[in-house]
Structure formats: structure tokens, C-alpha cells
Chain A
């Protein structure tokens, strides 16, 4: 033979057909292969050979099922008999079987739950027509990148772009009291352009949508199915009737389909619980009021659209240079990726980590299966010696592995569903579309297939041994155990240790991140602080008086120490932050951008923000001719480094627009984290709300009262004074907690995954050492008879175990170091490669591992030398 036939193919055929059949077949195949090669060329012959191997599968099934054997004694028998025999086999080793099932089930559960979440959130298309064409318009302005709000002028410019099929605008979301039947509830509402629903491809299930012919009844409304069901009892006659929202009556045009939600990312301020949609017109001219979120349906892909956006931006800048030529640029972001942008990195980390856990579980199950097969080998040899057909025994042991996987799969499904439901219910607002998530069939299928592959691969080991080993040799050997643990078993344990250490490091880093977030100096005192948005009664210019009276009334209540109000709830802004430029008098180059907050007197005391210099507002600022401001330390440092800022003047925008005006600094406060915990945020300028009264303000109440009691008296006082609404009641502690919810969720999940992995890997280590100890009973007995002390024996086993751990640690810490970039974006105040965490987690692992090694070591050391020497060892 001048050339070798495909080696992999022939190896495969040998596996498929079994040794005795394969020899004759391969002889023929090789002969024909050579002829083909000479006549038709090498490539053709190779293809032919491979086709032959693939075509052997049906024949191999017949052989494997025993039908090709010699007559009826080679038959496998019916399926039920095999299953029963396999079940007996599983039950004969209950502990081992349970362990295998448990480990595989944990892997299947965790893996399928996380895969389901990831695929549901990141992959499932949005529930709109052709969702891939939808995009959200975002603006990168010099002061705020990635801003979701644009003005009417910008909206129309994009709507008219020739690569935009259609575009809809969404106004700010707020809560409106709905008077329905005998109850009054606050319904989150938004205004939308009338084309929104047709653009999304959503038809009302009852009634009609907004008219598309340009006519618009401003006093009409579309309700969600959920609002209709929960508060109107699903009354079908509701269409055309009127309901009272706030103080006006609105005609109900239609009911949106069940489950419809406007899904926009968090920073747009539009939440999925919007219950009513009002038609809204977008005023074309004004480029200054950026209050619209714009969803566009693109007729081209996002990349091409973004090239178009540059041109639109240029046109806009020349159209309105004073408002729009500030260096801003526009981007269109696919609606789905925009929605999940906040959670993507977290989910990817989670996916990676759960993959590691699954690997650890699989390695562990593999080790268990190998140990199991070691024990089963003898049993099978006995049966083979008694005349059972090898084919039948093979099928039986495969069936036993199959049964273990099947039970693990069932347990895994239950556990996975439970994990997912509890996990998500703990943090309901942690990911978008959380209520749409269910255990995904594909995710489950993949996890079970993986577990099944492991079970088959390692369960079939003994199956292949059957018929190959000589029953006599197995029966003659006195030991019931395999001679020594294979190198495979050692590496499986090292692998488990390594991967669990990776998980442990990840968990350690996340835990530190949550503690760091908790420990940030906030610049205000959240404990004892309650906040709520209060809508003042409609009255011309009387807003100021209303809030002042509300504060006075509340401050008289026992337990309330101070009350104030501010234009924005701390840590709650969504999109529409008010930012203004400031600069030194006579020097426009020294200055910057600052967040503006309009506050009532007493704001700083109520918040618990410390004054560094001066004091707060009096409330009489209108009377004074010169406007006054309170600035934070950042502004003070910027304009007057190392000097006092008190009494100095700076330039700020005039209250009612126009040229910047002078303002005098009456106080300097410490910087407070009012926009986000993770960064210091922009400099802050506080102005007295007496200059420009607001109709909606966040009332701040500092008290020693219970949560419910605070909001009860706040409600009472507000409605006594004629307030139109009180919404968004949160204690400051709740707000701070919410700001860290996602981080804490990831930390919780990573800690549980790491815990599971460590536990599983320790079981693996323990199992291997127990196996070793049992096998070496004789050796230990002899050593002890020769004078070895108990602690010496113990030390030897622990050392052996820790040697494996050391290998695993080296690999694991290496992997954690290399893969640190993946988790880096989630961390706060700690580096992904933080040596302290690495050392601490390694030490933690060694400590628990030593314990897991000590137990079997101690058992080995308790061996009675006399007993061992008496036995046949």
C-alpha cells in the first residue's frame, strides 16, 4: 500500500463497528480505497472513504444492538428489560447516583436559567413590527454625552431625512391622578406623536388608534390593556367614554393589546409601566427645549443612518447656529441595543461565570462517573463471566448514564425555574422586560445536552471496557477498586479547583465593589430623609407660597426636624438634567458646566449637606436686586483656588434667559453625589427657587418618623393645602439602594455561583482523596505498624490534596488575571487584578480545601494496623 487511508475515518469506523467487525471491513475499505485513489485521484478516494464511514452508522446500530451477533443469544432483549436492569444498576449505588444527579442538576439549572435570561434580554427581538429597523436618536453634546432628548426642530429634521421611514416623538413621563370609580390612583403617562403606534405596528385591540390624517383631539387617550383590566374591569363599553385625568376629562379612543409596553432605556425616563398615552404635537420651531425622545424607523442600516445623521446635524447647526451649533453630534442607536446597553456587560459576565460553574459541575460529574465505572467494572465482569452478552451490558450501562442524565435534567428544570423566579423577583427592575422571561427551551436543551454528553462520554467508559477485559483477570484480582486513579481524575480535580477560584475572585471583586459603593461619602445624609414629588395647586405665581406653607405645616409635626423642597429628586434624574455654564466675571475662559438645582430655604440642612462657608437662602431673593447662588466646592476650587469664595461674584445664565448675569456667592457647600454614585459628577450651583417658582417640586422631609407615617402626614398636609398630586414617594435610603441594585444583584449572583462551584470542587477533592485513602489502607496499615504516627499519616494526605489545590490555584489565578478585563467595567473602587483580592480568595480556598482534605486524611489515619495486617494485604 503506497498511501495510508484516512486515519481518523478508520478510527471512527473502529469505534462504530467494534473491533471484530471493523477488521474485515477496514481490509475491504482500504483495498477499494487504493483502487479508487489510483483511478480517480486522492481527493475522490478520501471523500468516498468518509462517505463509507458515515454510511456505516445504520449497520453499526444493528451491530451494537446485538442483532448481527450469532443468533438469538446475542440479542439485547426488549427495551423495558434493559431499562429495568439499568434502573437496578442506578439504585445499587444510591449515593454515587445521587451525587452525579445533584451535580449535573445544579449545572443544568444554573446554566439554563442564566442562558434564558441572557437570550431573553439580549437576543429576543423587541415585540414590535420589524424591530430591527427601529432606532433611538441620541445626542452627544459637549456637556452631556449620549443624551436621549432633542428639540422639536431636531425631531422634524430627522423625521424628514430620506433614510427615515417614519419617526415618533415621546414627551416626558409623569404621574397623573386618574379618577376611576371610587378610587383615585396615579397613572404614569406620556404624550406621544400620533404616528407612534402605527410605526411600531401596534393596533388597539378595542376601539381605534390616534387618527393619522393630521386631525388630533388633544383630549383623547389610549389605555393599556393592564390599566383597562385592573381599573375598569375590562369594560368593553368604555370606548368613546370619558375619564378624568388630573382635572380634565379625556375621551378613551382605544385599548392597546395586552402586554404592550413602550420599551425605552432607563435614561429616557420612560418606564415600562406607562398606563395611558396622550396624543402630543411637536412644536416645530423651538430648538431650545430638548424634551422629546425620538424613535425612528430606518430604511437603511444603522451605520448608514449615522452617516446621514452627520449631514442632518450640519444642516441643523446652520439653521439654528445660536442653539444647535455647540459642537453637538447625533447618533442613532438600534432600539434594542439601546434598551439593554446598561445590562449587557453584567449579563455577559454572568454568562461567562455560569459557564464556568457548568464546567466545574461537568468535570465533577465526570470524576464521579469514572469512579462509578471503576466500581461497576467488576460487577459487569461477573455478569459477562456468567454469560451475559457484552452488547447487552454495554447498552445497559449507557441506559444507566441516560437515566442519571434524565433525572438530573428534570431536577435541573425545576431548580432552574425556581432559581430564575426567585432571582428575578428579588430584583424586579434589574433588567428590562423581566416579566417576559421564562426558562427558555433552547437554553434548557443546550444545558441538558451538555450534561448528557458528559454522562455519556464518561459513563460509556465502563461500557467500552466490557467485553474487552478478560473476566477472569478482573475476578482474580482481590481488590474491588480500580488499581489507581487515572491521570484524568487528577486533572479533573485540578480543573475544578482552578475554575472555582476564578469564580471566587470574581465574587470577591464584586463584593468589594458593593461595599465600596456603600461607603462612598454621599455629601448628604440619606437616613431619616423622605422625598416625594408634590404638584402644587394651579394658581398664578402662588407656587412658592404653597411650598412654604407646606413646609411650615410639616415642621410643626412632632418628630419632623426640617422640611424643604428642590427641583429634582437626588439620584433620580433621568435624561433631563438641567446644566448651565458659569464663568468668572470678565474671564469667559475660567469656568465650566454645572448642574443647577433650584431649592427652597432650608434645603442644605434638610439634606444634611455641610456648609464650608457662608449659609443658605433666605427666600427673599426676589426682593434683592442681585441674584445669589450657593456653589459647591468644585466651583469654588475652579474659580478661586485657595481663596475664599464667599461674597465673590460669578457669571451665570439669567433666570429668564438672555445674557449671563452677575450672581453673588452666599454659601459654599461640600459636593454631594446627586446624579450618580459611581462618579463625583459635575460641579453644582444652587439657586433660590423664589426667583422662578416651580409647579412641581420634590419635597424633602427629615424626621424620626416611620416611613408610612411620614408619607401619611405629607399626603394629609399637601391635600389640605390643595395639592393636585403627590407622587414618587421614596425614602432617600431606598433611592440609594435602588442606585446600587444592579451591582448588588450581580454580586449576589456571583457569590452564589462561586459558592456552588467551590462546594462542588471541594466534593471532587474530597472524593478523590477518599478514594486514595481507601485504596491505600494496606500501605497505611504497614506504615503505622512500622511506627508512623497518626499525624504523619494525616499530614501526608492533606499535603497530597493541597498539592492538587496548589496546581488548581496557579491555573485559576492565572485565568482570573487574564480575564479581568471582562469584569472591570462592573467594578468600583477596586482593580480587576487587585492583588489583595487574589491573595485573600486563594487563602480562603486553601483554608476550606484543607478541611476537605483533612476529613479523608483523618479517616485514613484511623486505620487499625493490626486489622490490615491480618487481612490479605
Chain B
């Protein structure tokens, strides 16, 4: 697996947030959902940069739509692609395998 396909932790979090939205989301919406779920401070810029990168990898689809309230400003919307879903599934399997092997350790909470 090349580095290009690997999902970093933050990328995974952003991608999961995109997946959790019902339908396409704006970077603003993704940012809000992410800080609610992750319970930590992240920068708008890093969310934006990560979304751009995920788009470049083909994990999210982007398309522009006119903004709310007849605002002439066009806003980017992001949506999970099939490849993105597959990448999330692959990452999850990887994590699951690691979790399974860690189950035997007494300090790890049992399922």
C-alpha cells in the first residue's frame, strides 16, 4: 500500500464526518460536525486543506452550488464517493484487526 492510499488519522476523521452527513455538505458544515464529534479544536484551514486533498485522491466529490439566500457566492459541497467508502472500510478492517489482537490485554476495555 503506497502512501498515497493511506488514510491519516485526521483524514479519516474528516472523511467519516463527510460520510455521516445526510447528503453533500459544505466545508463549514463538516467543520461544525467535526468539532462537535471530536471534541477538540481544529482549524478551519486544516479542514479545508484536508478536504482538498481527499478530493484530489478521489475519496470525496466536490461540486459548486449557489450559496444560501440567493447569495451570488458559490460554495463547494463535498460528498463521499464509492472509493472513499472503500478506503474507510479498508481502514476500519485494519483497525479491527489491531483491536482484536489487543483484546487479550487486561488494560484494554473488553467488548
Contacts and interface: CB of A to CB of B under 8 A. Distances in A.
Interface of A: 13, 16-17, 21, 24-25, 27-29, 31-32, 51-52, 55-56, 58-60, 62-63, 67-72
B46 interface: yes
A777 B52 CA distance: 49
A71 B56 contact: yes
Q: Classify chain B's interface size.
A: 10 to 19
A56 B45 CA distance: 5
B43 A52 contact: yes
B25 to A, nearest CB: 12
Which of B28, B45, B56, B76 has the most CB atoms of chain A within a 10 A radius of its CB?
Answer: B45
B36 interface: no
A738 B56 CA distance: 76
B56 A59 contact: no
A21 B52 CA distance: 9
Nearest to A17: B45
Contact of A69 (B27, B48, B56, B76): B56
Nearest to A33: B44
A68 B45 contact: no
A383 B106 CA distance: 60
B43 A62 contact: no
29 contacts: A13-B45, A17-B45, A17-B49, A21-B48, A21-B52, A24-B48, A25-B45, A27-B75, A28-B44, A29-B44, A32-B31, A52-B44, A55-B41, A55-B42, A56-B44, A56-B46, A58-B46, A59-B43, A59-B45, A59-B46, A59-B48, A59-B49, A63-B49, A67-B53, A68-B53, A68-B56, A70-B56, A71-B57, A72-B4
A451 to B, nearest CB: 31
Contact of B45 (A55, A67, A70): A55
A265 B57 CA distance: 73
Nearest to B30: A28
A56 B49 CA distance: 10
Contacts of A72: 4
Nearest to A60: B45
Interface string B35-62: 0000001111110110011001100000
B43 A56 contact: yes
B53 to A, nearest CB: 5
A76 to B, nearest CB: 15
Contacts of B27: 24, 28
Interface of B: 4, 27-28, 31, 41-46, 48-49, 52-53, 56-57, 73, 75-76
Contacts, number: 59
A24 B4 contact: no
Contacts of B48: 21, 24-25, 28, 59
A793 B52 CA distance: 58
Contacts of A62: 49, 53
Nearest to A29: B44
Closest 7 CB pairs of A and B: A56-B45, A55-B43, A59-B46, A59-B45, A59-B49, A28-B28, A25-B48
A25 B31 CA distance: 11
B3 to A, nearest CB: 11
A27 B73 contact: yes
Nearest to B31: A28
Given A32-B31, A56-B44, A68-B52, 7 more contacts: A25-B44, A28-B28, A28-B31, A32-B44, A55-B45, A56-B43, A71-B56
B31 A55 contact: no
A71 B4 CA distance: 9
Nearest to B57: A71
A70 B75 CA distance: 19
B28 A31 contact: yes
Of A27, A60, A67, chain B has the most CB atoms within 10 Å of the CB of A27
A67 B57 CA distance: 11
Nearest to A58: B46
B42, B44, B73: which has the most chain A beta carbons within 10 Å? B44
A28 B43 CA distance: 11
A69 B49 CA distance: 9
B55 to A, nearest CB: 9
Contacts of A27: 73, 75
A28 B30 CA distance: 11
Contacts of A55: 41-43, 45-46
Contacts of B52: 21, 68
A69 B28 CA distance: 21
Contacts of B31: 28, 32
A737 to B, nearest CB: 67
A313 B101 CA distance: 85
A736 B36 CA distance: 82
Nearest to B73: A27
Nearest to B49: A59
Nearest to B51: A24
Contacts of B44: 25, 28-29, 32, 52, 56
A59 B41 CA distance: 14
A71 B73 CA distance: 27
A62 B51 CA distance: 13
Contacts of A29: 44
A587 to B, nearest CB: 90
